[in-house]
A = this chain, B = another copy of it.
Amino acid sequence: MSKNMALPTLKTVGVIGTGVIGASWTALFLARGLKVIVTDPAPGADGKLRDYLLKHWLTIPNAKVTQDQYLNNFKFVKDIDTHLGDIDFIQENGPERLDFKRHLFAHLDANTPEHVVIASSSSGLPSSEFITECTKNTARILIGHPFNPPHLVPLVEVVPHRGTGDTYATATLEFYRSLGKDPVLVKKETPGFIANRLQAAVCAEAYSLISRGVVSAEELDKTVTSGLGLRWALTGPIMTNTLGGGGYFNHFMNHLGPALKTWLDDMHQHEFDIDSRDADVLEDKVKDWISRVNLKEIEERRDELLVGLIRSKTERSA
């Protein structure tokens, strides 16, 4: 199959499931000028989706359509089966339950033209585990795991299973890029993919430091938001270390490698055990802080700053 055959005319996206992730994907697809056919069995899902779209219109960067088009280019359907022939790409956002996904993917695979990519937003289950009952074309099935909310945060982890065709993976990466997203190709199925593993590494050490009384929960977070995170929003760990080594990653490794080892050894010795009493100590310490703050304000401020940060990064690179 040639590269161009995978997504011949990508005009209509099918969205399965309109929870937080599915609704946000829908907003993004619509703002980029695509038509969306969307379904969700939950009562009142249609109305909730409309509310979500209206609420988030202004925060979507670089919309390519008018608000009117954005709000009218989708069709909410009770049964998507009769529409599967009109859809060029499927983004699935169902519950993270293996039995559910196995059944759903067998059904989608059987009823969707075989060239259409079916991407799952699954944050945990690898697609190799839920394609087991598919009979038509598992080569077009893969993970397209967004970072919440997808209409705003550019990252999508694209994770093919062993049998996913390169053509489909490439087409998926191109499709996401065409929406202004920054897809990352995860070349081997790995528990937690990339982002959740890096996040787990930070959280495990953060939990240990807080539960051991080395630093308060509030000040642990400040170490990130006033230091590490500012840098990581702009350069990742590899580039940060390369710049730190005067342009040479190996200079950095030679210089800081021994210290890194000492730190990691100490971290191993004080590893956080989620099943021990440490978890209670941690929760109490976190509660001490959280009970004193206004979460709604913090969340609003975060979202507002996030929009600004993404906008200035996009403008600066253009």
Show the binding face of A for B, using Cβ within 8 Å. 124, 147, 153-155, 157, 182, 184-188, 190-192, 194-206, 209-210, 212-239, 241-243, 247, 249-250, 253, 257, 259-264, 266-267, 274, 279, 283, 286-287, 289-290, 295, 298-299, 301-302, 304-306, 308-310, 312-313, 316-317
| CB-CB under 8 A for A236 and B260, given A209-B194, A247-B295 | no
Question: Which B residues are in CB contact (< 8 Å) with A247?
Answer: 290, 295
What residues on B are CB-neighbors of A306 within 8 Å? 230-231, 234
A108 to chain B, nearest CB (A): 25
Contact B236 A221, beta carbon cutoff 8 Å: yes
| A194-B223, A238-B210 known; A205+B215 contact, CB < 8 A | no
- Interface majority SS on A: helix, strand, loop or mixed? helix
Query: In the complex the two chains form, is B253's CB within 8 Å of A239's CB?
Result: no
A231 to B228, CA, bound (A): 11
Residue of A236, A259, A266, A302 with highest tally of chain B CB at under 10 A = A236
Max chain B C-beta neighbours (<10 A), residue from A210, A229, A242, A312: A229
Task: State in angstroms the CA–CA spacing of A175 and B235 once bound together.
Answer: 30
Contact A232 B232 (CB under 8 A): yes
- Contacts A147-B228, A231-B306, A235-B298 given; 14 further ones with Cβ under 8 A? A153-B226, A195-B223, A198-B205, A198-B224, A200-B267, A201-B202, A202-B202, A203-B241, A220-B236, A224-B236, A225-B234, A230-B309, A234-B302, A312-B312
Q: Which 6 A-B pairs have CB atoms at the shortest separation, nearest pair first?
A: A221-B236, A155-B227, A229-B232, A233-B233, A192-B263, A182-B226
Kindly provide the distance from the CB of A281 to the nearest chain B CB, expressed in whole angstroms. 12
Find out whether the CB atom of B295 lies under 8 angstroms from the CB atom of A242: yes
Indicate if the CB atoms of A227 and B154 lie closer than 8 Å.
Answer: yes
- Provide 19 A-B residue pairs closer than 8 Å at the C-beta atoms, listed in order of the A residue: A157-B223, A191-B262, A195-B228, A197-B267, A198-B202, A200-B260, A224-B237, A225-B234, A228-B232, A231-B302, A232-B232, A233-B309, A242-B286, A247-B295, A249-B283, A249-B290, A253-B274, A261-B274, A301-B316
